[in-house]
Amino acid sequence: MTTGGRPHQSARELGDRGEALAVTHLSAEGVSILDRNWRCAQGEIDIVGLDEGQVVFYEVKTRRSSRFGHPAEAVTRTKAARLRRLAGLWLREHPRLGCDLRIDVLALTSTGGDTFRIDHLRGVA
């Protein structure tokens, strides 16, 4: 999927823009957004959604280019393990949602100008 973006943003602005685009993408795919930027002492979950009855934890990685590799490559084993721990903590706070879960990565890469390519990698961790 390709969608709008803005050149010359700070890293924080780029990340915020990526998360907003990710929410738009997920909503268009029929995902109900349950939470955004959920934080606890151990870290943060970018987006939590409900996809066909399954709770999905989304890690969003946004890059200006793929010059230093695909954005999803930033999700290392250590990061994946942290995401699994955070998912468990989130579910403890929301026990009514059950335990059928998945962890996905949304990798956004600028394709120039105002567009981004979105790669949705399902069940990565």
What SS3 state is found at 1?
Answer: coil
Predicted confidence (pLDDT) per residue in 28-50, tens digit: 999 999 999 999 999 999 999 99
**Does residue 7 carry a pLDDT above 60?**
no
User: Using CA atoms, how far apart are residues 104 and 55, in angstroms rounded to an integer?
Assistant: 11
What SS3 state is found at 40?
Answer: strand
Predicted confidence (pLDDT) per residue in 101-125, tens digit: 899 999 999 887 778 899 999 998 7
End-to-end Cα distance, the chain: 23
Domain coordinates of the chain in residue numbers?
Answer: 2-121
**Fold designation for 2-121:** Trna Endonuclease; Chain: A, domain 1 (3.40.1350)
The residue that leads in pLDDT, 9 or 61, is 61
Q: Mean per-residue pLDDT for 79-89? A: 94
Q: Can you give the pTM of this predicted structure?
A: 0.86
